[in-house]
Amino acid sequence: MSGWVAVVGLGPGRDDLVTPEVSATLAEATDIIGYIPYVERIAPAAGLTLHPSDNRVELERAELALRLASEGRRVVVVSSGDPGVFAMASAVFEGLEAHPGYMGTEIRVLPGITAMLAAAAAAGAPLGHDFCAINLSDNLKPWSLIEHRLRMAARGDFAMAFYNPRSKSRPHQFGQALDILREECGPKRLIIFARNVSRPDQTIRTVELGEATPEMADMRTVVLVGNAATRRVGPHVYTPRGAE
């Protein structure tokens, strides 16, 4: 029997946001590979081997997945959210490129509910018009490029979603990002801090950019910024479908 790799998205956290496609694929798996907290979401089962690993070993995970599939195993690589948005899908293809001996492996990517869309839904519809998704971590790209992208997104009047806004190892950069946004968008622009989206302790906090501070975000937060037309209606925040 020939093996395969499926790179799947588990959604932002709650089980009823996992697609039936992903659940069915997990039920066929012999091996689950991923970051420890995501593998912990998979129930142990007879004949199923769990391979949890720590952060920042994405390429090792990819190579393990490809090797196991070449041995006939049915391997599911789990990401939170959507695997194609700042998650494991690109890492698996980087691994394939680095190990061309595995080139014939069947690899499928199964989409999931990505954090920014779950956060947007919880807030209302702040991404209801053209928007950008930016990873604010400079682990794999220079900070100068992030600053450039923030300015281009602001000058295009895109709404924005930021992944990995702030971590203990880089506490100061998010403050710089807020400074750039205030400079480009002014102090009245709405910004949403969505923490632990879809989990029991979810919090959604909306403030104006002029009131935003770096401490409002951590690694469990997705940050959304409206465009020039984004506004509140009752308890909701939304971006109109049109623009003048």
Kindly identify the residues of this chain, within the stretch 130-149, that bind a copy of itself according to CB under 8 A.
Answer: 130-135, 140-142, 145, 148-149
Task: Name the residue among 205, 211, 243 with its Cα closest to residue 227.
Answer: 243
Among 20, 44, 47, 200, binds a copy of itself (CB under 8 A): 20
Quick one: tokens of 85? Answer: 């948005």
Distances (CA, A) of 173 to 142, 158, 213, 214: 12, 21, 12, 9
Among 19, 167, 176, 202, binds a copy of itself (CB under 8 A): 19
Q: What are phi and psi of 123, to 5 degrees?
A: -85, -25
Minimum distance from CB of 148 to a copy of itself (Å)? 6
Site for a copy of itself in 144-203 (CB under 8 A): 145, 148-149, 151-153, 155-158
Site for a copy of itself in 214-233 (CB under 8 A): 233
3-state class (DSSP) for residue 24? helix
Site for a copy of itself in 79-138 (CB under 8 A): 82-87, 89-94, 96-97, 103-104, 107-114, 117-118, 120-122, 124-135
Distance CA 204, CA 105 (A): 42
- Helices 143-155, 173-185: axis angle to 10 degrees equals 20
Cβ nearer to a copy of itself, comparing 14 with 51: 14
What is the CB-side half-sphere exposure of residue 152 using CA atoms within 13 A? 9
Cβ nearer to a copy of itself, comparing 75 with 122: 122
| Chain centroid to CA 84 | 8
Minimum distance from CB of 244 to a copy of itself (Å)? 7
18 sits near a copy of itself (criterion: CB under 8 A):
yes
Cβ nearer to a copy of itself, comparing 186 with 240: 240
